[in-house]
Amino acid sequence: MNIKELKLLANNNRKRIIDMVYLAQTGHVGGSLSVIDMLTAIYEIDVNFTSEKRSKVVLSKGHTTPALYAVLNSKGIIKDEEMSSFRKINSRLQGHPYTGTIKEVDATTGLLGQGLSIAVGMAIAKKNLNDNNNVYAIVGDGEMQEGQIWESLLQAAHYKLDNLILIIDYNKLSSYNDVNESMNLEPLVTKIKAFNFHTIEINGNNMEEVVNSLEEAYKIKDKPTAIICNTIKGKGISFMENNPKWHTGKISEEEYEMAMKELKEEEDRINNE
């Protein structure tokens, strides 16, 4: 799949996110929209569901399941008719990832800060089993304030886990305010490098940069890679972008129509590139 096709797929996944949250009248839309470009690329490039041994994805920022379910729907894992059951009683599409009902979900997450530890364990296991596939940990910037994250960084570097790729969705907004006002992460690139990670900083909403960063990560040996994705919370919907209101919440009919109109315009723009 080329860059243009990936852009179109990510845009369609944004439509899926908006549909889910609108129909459920609940859901974490802002962070789902910020991470969807990277998540789309990872699953298209490096996750083969037909293979017994495959790369794994740990969505540590587990509240952004709309992004995960959108991708799984695009892959045919979740059927169209099931998407409207998001966050309903007895639905497989829970508010956080759960391995018990969808086998293609690689980790049950939700308590922020724990996903990177899970991914480190998976990466060590793959090394021990001579499984050359990768493990991705998708971490939010807010959960970078958790001590367990930094312990996991130490461990990943100590064991030279070159099959571990840490993705930091650095949209700089937490639930109610700026991440760096509640607990300053800067200088984030310098800090991650100091933990002996190969560190790449990109625009995480630019598909060319996303793909190039993944290709660079695959070449690194004897150390883990961290891709710091500078993103926009609510990316793709003008009234949601950089607005803390859209960390989670309801979408009105008028807002839904506005959002889908903007995504249709973006689809036309990509097609005309």
Neighbours of 171 (CB within 10 A): 26
pTM of the model: 0.97
Contact 25, 250 (CB under 8 A): yes
Looking at domain 3-271, what is its CATH homologous superfamily?
Answer: Thiamin diphosphate (ThDP)-binding fold, Pyr/PP domains (3.40.50.970)
Cis peptide before 97 (omega within 30 of 0): no
Query: Could you list the pLDDT tens digit for every one of the 273 residues in the chain?
Result: 899 999 999 999 999 999 999 999 999 999 999 999 999 999 999 999 999 999 999 999 999 999 999 999 999 999 999 999 999 999 999 999 999 999 999 999 988 999 999 999 999 999 999 999 999 999 999 999 999 999 999 999 999 999 999 999 999 998 878 999 999 999 999 999 999 999 999 999 999 999 999 999 999 999 999 999 999 999 999 999 999 999 998 999 999 999 999 999 999 999 999
Query: For the chain, what are the domain ranges?
Result: 3-271
Contact 116, 144 (CB under 8 A): no
Contact 68, 61 (CB under 8 A): no
Helix (H, G, I), strand (E, B) or coil at 97: coil
